[in-house]
């Protein structure tokens, strides 16, 4: 399945795409065999479309990137981490509450104020 708004990363791309990104980045550390990871995907796709241009969404397969998983102390999948300026601002291990995750993204990347004429 092709995800328009979610970038699949490998270990070599992580630093440039996540740690050096100018704005907030949501990283989904997942495994293809993980049931809760599959349940999380539709929510992340919906949020990626909603927060397009405000938050970058990326996925990292922990089976393909064991070094990254170890470096970020991933002990269970899915693990969702929110980065900004190379720093981890938040971590959700397991299936996050959709409202909690959306509220956190809104705090990190508020919608531009509507122009008033």
Strand partners, 46: none
Q: Which residues are catalytic?
A: 34, 37
pLDDT in tens, 57-82: 999 999 999 999 999 999 999 999 99
pTM (2 decimals)? 0.91
How much is the average pLDDT of 53-57? 94
> How many CB atoms are located within 10 Å of the residue 38 CB?
13
Is the CB of residue 26 less than 8 Å from the CB of residue 82?
yes
Mean pLDDT of the chain: 91
pLDDT in tens, 30-48: 999 999 999 999 999 999 9
CATH class, domain 6-108, is alpha beta
Distances (CA, A) of 8 to 32, 77, 89: 12, 16, 21
How much is the average pLDDT of 4-30? 93
The rounded radius of gyration (Å) of the Cα atoms in the chain is 14
Is the CB of residue 6 less than 8 Å from the CB of residue 45?
yes
The residues spanned by each domain of the chain are: 6-108
């Amino acid at each position: 399945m092709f995800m328009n708004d979610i970038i699949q990363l490998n270990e070599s791309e992580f630093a440039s795409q996540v740690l050096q990104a100018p704005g907030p980045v949501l990283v989904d550390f997942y495994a293809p065999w993980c049931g809760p990871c599959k349940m999380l995907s539709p929510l992340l796709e919906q949020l990626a479309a909603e927060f397009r241009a405000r938050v970058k969404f990326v996925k990292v397969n922990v089976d393909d990137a064991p070094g990254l998983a170890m470096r970020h102390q991933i002990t269970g999948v899915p693990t969702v981490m929110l980065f900004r300026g190379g720093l981890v601002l938040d971590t959700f291990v397991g299936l996050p509450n959709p409202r909690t995750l959306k509220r956190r993204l809104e705090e990190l990347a508020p919608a531009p104020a509507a122009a008033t004429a």
